[in-house]
Amino acid sequence: MQTVAIVSQKGGAGKTTLALHLATAAHAAGIVSLILDADPQATASRWSQWRDGAEPDVIDCASPPLLAKKLDQAAELGAELAVIDTPPHADSMSAAACRVADLILVPCRPRAFDLDAIQTTADLVKASGKPGFVVFMAGPQRAIHLYKEAAEIVAGFGLAIAPVVLSERAAYHHATGAGKTAQELEPGGRAAEEVAALWAWVRQRGNVLTRKHVSKEAAA
Ligand SMILES: Nc1ncnc2c1ncn2[C@@H]1O[C@H](COP(=O)(O)OP(=O)(O)OP(=O)(O)O)[C@@H](O)[C@H]1O
Ligand SMILES: [Mg+2]
């Protein structure tokens, strides 16, 4: 099982939005995926209730020392991808999520205050020794200079940047508020395209595509 931790100490960075979209895109691609809701705010769990428990499953874990055990149990039950949604302002849970992750994503708005605030998260990611990437969230759709400047700041913190951004689009908050994802709400929309591209990149990086899936797709 591959584990992706979504981590940012900054509140409202887009952690839950990113976690839900990634896990649901994986599920739609035939991967047995789940969201591990490690945030006491339980936003991902609420979203799951709004969609009447439709997959991907959301399981909760409020205790950092139990995280690894929960993931082992999920893997034993057949999960192939776990996406951990973490709380803001929580060093111990963020650090625990980084420790168990194969890949760490740090959502961040490409804005000065937000960029400044991810330095502590960047330090956590680097301390874990795991591959970590900033995913720019909710920024303008076309702003080459802004993204270039943001990329320079992120590079200064020693983090890499994912090659896909999830721009500021109404589809993301309309969808999540309705217990859906942007891909489910507007399958042909731009937000859906962004999520598909991000999932394709994560899948390739994490080698989430197992032999089983390759042979299934080849047979189709
Ligand atoms: N790409 C986007 N386009 C438009 N709105 C977005 C985008 N990403 C996130 N949002 C909105 O920003 C707000 C915060 O997002 P979200 O709840 O995912 O952040 P969070 O990091 O999980 O917050 P918290 O730290 O409180 O857990 C939500 O209203 C969400 O709908
Ligand atoms: Mg959240």
Among the atoms of ligand 1, which is closest to the Cα of residue 39? 27
Q: What ligand is nearest to the CA atom of residue 173?
A: 1
| CB of 137 sitting under 6 A from ligand 1 | yes
Superfamily of domain 2-208: P-loop containing nucleotide triphosphate hydrolases (3.40.50.300)
Identity of the residue numbered 55: E
> In the predicted model, what is the mean pLDDT of residues 172-179?
97
Decide: 172 in ligand 1 pocket, CB within 6 A: yes
Residue with tokens 């802004």: 146
The response to whether residue 11 sits with its C-beta less than 6 Å from ligand 1 reads: yes
**Per-residue pLDDT for 124 more than 50?**
yes
Nearest CA to ligand 1 atom 11: 173
Three-class SS state of 24: helix
> What pTM was computed for the model?
0.95
Yes or no: say if 137 and 13 are a contact pair by the CB < 8 Å rule: yes
Query: Would you kindly state where each structural domain of the chain is located, as residue ranges?
Result: 2-208
The percentage of residues in the chain with a pLDDT greater than 90, rounded to a whole number, is 91
Query: Is the shortest distance between the CB of 9 and ligand 1 below 6 Å?
Result: no
| CA 34 to ligand 1 center in whole angstroms | 19
The rounded Å distance from CA 15 to ligand 2 centre is: 5
**Residue 90 pLDDT:** 81
- Would you say 29 and 203 are in contact if contact means Cβ atoms under 8 Å apart? yes
Reported as a single tens digit per residue, the pLDDT across 36-91 is 999 999 999 999 999 999 999 999 999 999 999 999 999 999 999 999 999 999 88
Choosing from 173, 183, 194 the residue with most ligand 1 atoms within 8 A of its CB, the one to mutate for a pocket test is 173
Number of residues that this document lists for the chain: 220
Residue-wise pLDDT tens digits, 15-38: 999 999 999 999 999 999 999 999
Report the nearest atom of ligand 1 relative to the CA of 11.
Answer: 25
d(CA 193, CA 13): 21
Rounded to whole angstroms, the Cα distance separating 20 from 195 reads 10
* 86 pocket-lining for ligand 1 (C-beta < 6 Å): no
Give the mutation target among 9, 17, 141 for probing the ligand 1 site: most ligand atoms within 8 A of CB: 17
